[in-house]
Structure 1
């Protein structure tokens, strides 16, 4: 499971020109799920996301976590994070999980994050054509891969 965390001052997702989710200060997260992912990946990733110290303290040093700053989360499914670009010019998405595996894991990630932080998790819609807007704060962008946990 791959997560791209972007520290934002605002972010939103629109589906068919209607806002589905929006946040102010917090993290906009792109989440890529592959066939081999499971609940252990979700637990590890969720702990890392909520505890990662990437928000500024009173001295301007990245020393506070999402929990510390009462940050919000916008979670977007993003199967293209598992694109293989080794051959040719057309990416292959063979590692990306099919909906029957990915949707339950995506929903479990929403629920896990929702349990960990006091603000309601905002999200996109799995498989929808989404328009995502954000103002990256810093910019701060961190890539986490649950396969790197060992």
Structure 2
């Protein structure tokens, strides 16, 4: 089921796929519990990295709490990290650890369901709006920086 929504999803992998030279090392590359060889599994490494969700600072989203910030720059980094970890857990739960995002291929509805849960809207279950409002209940002002222990 695809809901009607507009979102800006940024994915760049730091131009990872453009790097011609991987480090020359016999040490394995580990990505979320999977071991790869740089010499024999370069495409698999790139595919795995490209399949991870990446949530960064955003701007121009609906004001949090109706009158609050419309950007999380400067205060949302820990919230975005938490969102990424949880989103990855949901992807593994609903699609499996071996699922890969493929360009120009229709993704399963469960993938869109995970994405929808993290949209920057007050009615999305795990949006920055929901998390910031929960923080208010814990004594954190909307827009206040969250640390690793908060």
Q: Could you tell me the TM-score, scaled by structure 2's length?
A: 0.30
Whose Rg is larger?
A: 2
Of Structure 1 and Structure 2, the greater helix share is in: 2
| Higher relative contact order (CA closer than 8 Å, sequence separation 6+) | 1
Of Structure 1 and Structure 2, the greater strand share is in: 1
